[in-house]
Structure 1
């Protein structure tokens, strides 16, 4: 077992696993500090085209593709009962020359495929003990793990989530805020095909978002008042099926929820900087926000792509301080604008203030009525590589 590496990646979730594989793909040795996750993840993630391209380059896409469903239409429906309501808006990938915006991927099969790939790589050494402390010098990053292991590396990627220990150790502060919402997450089957369409209902409590899975199945993220969570979780299954069908206006017919539900409090986080010394923040270590508009993990994978590019442009991990400074500059606009946009939309949904509702309804009406504006919004919502030809959909 080595003691010194080119890169250390701290965090064993989706972003950390991709970061470890992306670093190894450059021929760099990687110390992967990745304690086992606390529980199975029943959520799904809508990954847009550039994220799919990254998974393809890392050899992951072909493994997970059979579990995924294409996203060809994204539809917004006003599910509020307020005085000012927005017209329906549909965004179609064909309008910007794409076969699909991306694919909805169940998190657990994606996580399992990433774990298998990191295990098989001869350049990745995994450490399952958690990080205890970290120090940076002019030349290295030193990590001390529980159990006494000591690792040094030329550069580090902090991917250990919202409560990041590595981010704390290198002295990067964050701004956090919470919302009066929790997200319920579930998968369900339905009697009417979804036609590769994701539907986001805007309600007074936040988004109620259905996203396609293969066959007549979909995933659901349902934002509710935290005081309602226990009551919904305790509902008899037949009653819950009917509740979801009613809220979806029966557009997918009869609903049958599969397996257990999960709940998550909704909050946001943004770092004051995205790197320090020889360390860069990727994924939810640097930014986190509610699940609106398919931005979360896609933004994290763009972090990883940019981190690797910055290291290469600087001449490799040995020149990490220069790469970190470039990475910090380059990520500020993308991360800041996405975080602000999601926060603004979520607060607009929650607000009963009439002028705010008028602005929200008017904005959606403009998107519905003005095709060039709608196309511009779709291009902005996609990754920077939206012009590339899309991956062919699963057979």
Structure 2
């Protein structure tokens, strides 16, 4: 049977997604929402943390970079754990663990204690997005995967909105500690709901449970079935292949220039235009709202533009938006610029996610976790580099540089995808 015929057969035989699986995906979306809130909630409060703890902005930015480093390194452990112990189970306990780390942050009396709390939070949050993606990749039919990732990505995108908005709003209105108190309640509630769904899954009849949890077959997996090796062998299997290496390298750049430099947008608007932390955080939160717009439009855009069209246009939109944010003399144009930038970024990022879940199907959990590791290690590098460069070349140049690199990356990724027929 040819590859095209095999793919058609798989599509024809794919069963519809059950209501129970859709409910599980909804809860996983809540988990990804919580993870992104925790990740971005410190962006708008950086100037206040700098003032409260009497440190420089670069030192205060460690609450972002330390979180990202811990998040990235943790992927090396969560990938194998998810493959061996169950992805949904790990996500459940990780969400509950984030609530504990958030509680430590509430009572932090120094920057060092706050950094320790952020490390604890990152250790839990690290599991939520990549293992949720991998669980969906195992469960959802291959021809519906990108669409379902687009829908479930709504959770993480809304998390960006709420994280940046609440970080500034709660810091201005009640104080920065209340932002972490909110996270205690959020992770506690999400973890409890996940626990209930995990018990439901465990109580399913054996045949039904296997039908829900069995990984979706793909042409690659069907053609070359493999016994699952240990983590080191899985990692070597992944990085020995050219296409996964390309995706991982692009993930580092995306993390540094997209997520990393984005952490400086609110501080730039606060210092350059004199906006309050609430106003600056609210404007940057529109970046996530633009991502929500893409999630709504993704179903029609994906078949029209194809993967190469999405990353090319997405990178270009983000580059133009970053240039506007960097040099506008008034805050008004920052509103549409942030919206358009978020729309473009998530056009690019959704294609990256889809390729990450499919680059090594026989080691999906480890592959997606490595992708997340490279993405957030890149973010950490971007935050540290951006905070250091702001003192040398100014925040406007840093914001514009981040957008420019993302535009170039989008053009390169589009070229690579065309060569692969994507």
TM-score normalized by structure 1? Answer: 0.29
Q: Which has the higher helix share?
A: 2
Structure with more contact order per residue of length (Cα contacts < 8 Å, sep ≥ 6): 2
